Structure 1
Amino acid sequence: MANWTKRKRLEATIAGEAVDRPPVALWRHWPGDDQDAAALAAAHLQWQANYDWDVVKVGPASSYSVADWGVEDRWEGHIEGTRHTTRYPVASPSDWAALQPLDPGRGMLAVQIDALRHVGEGLRGETPFIATIFSPLSMAKHLAGNETMLSHMRHSPDAFHAGLATLTESIVRFVDAARAVGISGIYYAVQHAAYPLLSRDEFDTFGRPYDLRILESAADLWCNVVHLHGSAVMFDRVADYPTAFLNWHDRDAGISLAEGLAQTRAAASGGVSQWTIHQDGPANTLTEAADARAQTGDRRLLLSTGCVIMTTTPLRNIRALRAAVEKS
C-alpha cells in the first residue's frame, strides 16, 4: 500500500493486515501542565513534534473526571506524574446518592475538552488523538479512596450502584463532548479487573456492566483502546470488550502478546515494560521491542508500553524505541 498515513497504518493494524511498519506510541502524565488546557495541549503537541507518534493519547491528571465533585489533590513529585489526593468527598454510603452527573462544559471537565480541542487543532488531522477515560470504579476510588470504596461496595451495594450509575452518565456526557472536538477514540482505563482488589464476581457485578455501557457509547469511534491495569489481571473478563486495541502489562502480568492476542479480537498495544524503558540505556528496551515484533509478526501490534512511562524516562531510550520501528 502506498502513502501510509498514520490512520491507514492503525486501521490496517486493527484489521490484522500487513503494514509497512508497526505503529508506535508512548504516553505519560504531564504534572502541573495538566491543570491548564493550553499548557496541556502544548505539552502534547511538543511531544508529537519530537517523536512523530502514530497516535497521541492525551493524558490528563488522573483526578480530572472527579475534581468537580470536590476531590482535591496536589503534585508532589511522583515520577509517574500522578497527584496526591488531599480530600475525598465521599465518606459515607449516602454520599453516592448525592452525586449528580457533571456538565462537561464546566469546571475541570471543560478544561480537558478545551485541551482536546487545542490538540486536535495543532495536529491538523495528520495524527489521530484519543481522550483518556477512567472507568466508574477508578473514579469511585478517587472519590472515596480505595479502602472506603471497597467497604461501601461490599456493605452498601445499592448505594454504591447508584453512584456508579451517576459516574457512568457523566462519562458518557464527556465522551459526547470529546467526540464533538474530533477525537478518534478513547483510552479507557480499567484498574479494578485485578486480584486481590476484587473477586471475579465483584468485577462482574460492579465493573463489567458499566464498562460495557461506556464502550457502547463510544462504539462509533474507530481507535478505542482499553487499558487493563495491573500485574494480576482478570484478562478473560476484559478480552471480549469491544475495542480496537487492548493494552495491558504484557511484560509484568504473565500474559504475553501472543497469548493475549489468542484470546481477543482486538489488536494489542504493548510489548515494552514501562520499567525497562526507564533503565539507564536502551538495550533492553530494544530487545523487548524486537521480541514483541517477533511474537506478532508485525501484525495486530501497536508498539507501546503496558502503562504510562515515567516522567523521568531517559530521552535516548524514547528515541531508540521510536527509531526501532523504522528498521526492518
Structure 2
Amino acid sequence: MDKKTRVLNAMNNQAVDKVPVGFWFHFSGDEAKGQACIDAHVQYYKNSDIDFIKIMCDGYFEFPIAVEIQEAADWRKLKPLGPDHPYIRGQVERAKGINAQLNGECCTFYNVFAPFSCIRFGTSDELVMRHLKEDPEAVMYALNVIAQDQAMLSELLITEGKCTGVYYCLQGGEMDRFSYDEYRSWITPSDKYVLEHANEFSDNNMAHLCGWAGIKNRLECWQDYPAKAFNWAIYVEGLGLKEGREFFGGKTVIGGFDNTKNSVLYSGSKDEVERFTNELIAAQDTTGMILGADCSLPGDIDRQRIGWVVNALKQA
C-alpha cells in the first residue's frame, strides 16, 4: 500500500497495511523561509520515511494587522487582506513548491491557525483578552474578518497549492481563559467558518487541539468540529487515544507520543522507543489511527529517532 492510500484510509476509518506515522517540528534559520524551507520539508520527509508531511507555517506566525489597535472599537476598522496579499501568496507558493517536488507521492497538510490565534499573534494576548471583556462584539467582528482570510488561505492551499487538506490549529480553550459558553459564543463562529470552508475543497482536514500552554483545555468546545481527524495533547489533557476516539465520535485520532524533551522519543534509547511504539499500537484498535505527537517536536531532536518509530511500525 502506498503512503497516500495508507494515510487516506486511516483518515477514513478504512483498512491499512500498517499504522501510518508523521512527526513535525519548526524549521529555523534559513530553512524557515523561501526555497530552503521547501527543500527542508522534502528532505526531512525522504530521510525519515514518514507517511505524510505536515507543512509548517514558519515565517508566517505573525498575522498582519493592517490598522493600529488601541481601543476595542478599533477592531471594527479591520478589512480582509485579500488573496493576493504576501501573507497568503507566500504560503501558497510554499505548498506548491513542496507538492511539486513530491509529485503526489504522499499526503500533505498545511498548518493553518484559527482566527483567535491569528489575532493574538498579530497584536498580543493581553490586548485581545482585555478588549474581549470590554467589547466582545468588536473583537468578534475582527475575528470574522480574519476568518475570511484564513478561509481563503485554506482554499488556495488545497486548490492551488495541491495540499491534501489543512492541519487546523485551534487554541484558546484553556480552562482558565474562557467558560464553555464564552468560547462557544465568542470564538467558535470564526473557528468553524474556516474549517467549514476548507471542507468545501477537501474531505480530509485535521484538527489540532493545541495544548501549548501545558494547561488542560475544554476539549468539549471542539468536540463537534467538522474535522476528519483529531490531534490533541494527550499528556496534557489526560485523554488517551482510545478514549479520545470515543470522545470525538469515532473520528480518526492522531498522536500517542509526548512531544517534550522529557519524552521517550526525545531522550529514550532505541530499544525504549521501539518498545514504546509497539506497546502503543498493541493497546489500540489501530483502525482510524495515525501515530504522531501531542504537538511539534523540539527542533533539536535527533531525527534518527523518528526513523526508529518508522522502522518499528514496519516490523510490527
**TM > 0.5:** yes
Preserved CA contact (<8 Å) 1:104 1:110: yes
Kindly tell me: are residues 284 and 149 of structure 1, through their superposed partners in 2, closer, same or farther at Cα, counting changes over 3 Å? farther
User: Secondary structure at the residue paired with 1:242?
Assistant: coil
Separation in 1 of the partners of 2:120 and 2:36? 27
C-alpha displacement at 1:43, in angstroms?
A: 0.9
Preserved CA contact (<8 Å) 1:280 1:314: no
Matched, 1:118 2:102: no
Q: Please name the residue that 1:81 is paired with.
A: none
Q: Please name the residue that 1:250 is paired with.
A: 234
Preserved CA contact (<8 Å) 1:228 1:247: yes
Q: Please name the residue that 2:188 is paired with.
A: 208
User: Secondary structure at the residue paired with 1:125?
Assistant: coil
Q: Please name the residue that 1:18 is paired with.
A: 15
C-alpha displacement at 1:222, in angstroms?
A: 3.0
Taking the TM superposition and a 5 Å limit, the aligned residue runs for 1:279-318 are: 279=267, 281-318=269-306
User: Secondary structure at the residue paired with 1:138?
Assistant: helix
C-alpha displacement at 1:280, in angstroms?
A: 5.0
Q: Please name the residue that 1:239 is paired with.
A: 223
Q: Please name the residue that 1:270 is paired with.
A: 255
Matched, 1:221 2:202: yes
Preserved CA contact (<8 Å) 1:226 1:246: yes
Gaps of 5+ in 1: 71-87
Q: Which amino acid aligns with 2:127?
A: T
Any idea what the Cα deviations from partners look like across 1:273-317, whole Å, max 9, x if unmatched? Answer: 112122253454434433331232322111000100010112232
Q: Please name the residue that 1:51 is paired with.
A: 48
Taking the TM superposition and a 5 Å limit, the aligned residue runs for 1:38-77 are: 38-61=35-58, 63-64=60-61, 66=63, 68-69=64-65
Any idea what the Cα deviations from partners look like across 1:10-58, whole Å, max 9, x if unmatched? Answer: 2221232331100100111112346533121111011111112211111
Preserved CA contact (<8 Å) 1:25 1:54: yes
Separation in 2 of the partners of 1:209 and 1:284? 43
Q: Please name the residue that 1:189 is paired with.
A: 169
Separation in 2 of the partners of 1:289 and 1:95? 51
Separation in 2 of the partners of 1:203 and 1:62? 28
Preserved CA contact (<8 Å) 2:256 2:294: yes
Kindly tell me: are residues 111 and 249 of structure 1, through their superposed partners in 2, closer, same or farther at Cα, counting changes over 3 Å? same
C-alpha displacement at 1:243, in angstroms?
A: 1.2
C-alpha displacement at 1:141, in angstroms?
A: 1.3
Separation in 2 of the partners of 1:235 and 1:8? 30
Gaps of 5+ in 2: none
Query: Cα RMSD (Å) of the superposition?
Result: 2.0
Q: Which amino acid aligns with 1:92?
A: E
User: Secondary structure at the residue paired with 1:325?
Assistant: helix
Segment drifting more, 94-103 vs 145-154 = 94-103
Separation in 1 of the partners of 2:206 and 2:93? 21
User: Secondary structure at the residue paired with 1:296?
Assistant: coil
User: Secondary structure at the residue paired with 1:147?
Assistant: helix
Kindly tell me: are residues 136 and 327 of structure 1, through their superposed partners in 2, closer, same or farther at Cα, counting changes over 3 Å? same
User: Secondary structure at the residue paired with 1:27?
Assistant: coil
Preserved CA contact (<8 Å) 1:137 1:206: no
Preserved CA contact (<8 Å) 1:14 1:267: yes
Matched, 1:97 2:59: no
Q: TM-score, normalized by length of structure 2?
A: 0.91
C-alpha displacement at 1:92, in angstroms?
A: 2.5
Preserved CA contact (<8 Å) 2:22 2:51: yes
C-alpha displacement at 1:171, in angstroms?
A: 0.7
Kindly tell me: are residues 90 and 279 of structure 1, through their superposed partners in 2, closer, same or farther at Cα, counting changes over 3 Å? farther
Q: TM-score, normalized by length of structure 1?
A: 0.87
User: Secondary structure at the residue paired with 1:218?
Assistant: helix
Kindly tell me: are residues 209 and 282 of structure 1, through their superposed partners in 2, closer, same or farther at Cα, counting changes over 3 Å? farther
User: Secondary structure at the residue paired with 1:326?
Assistant: helix
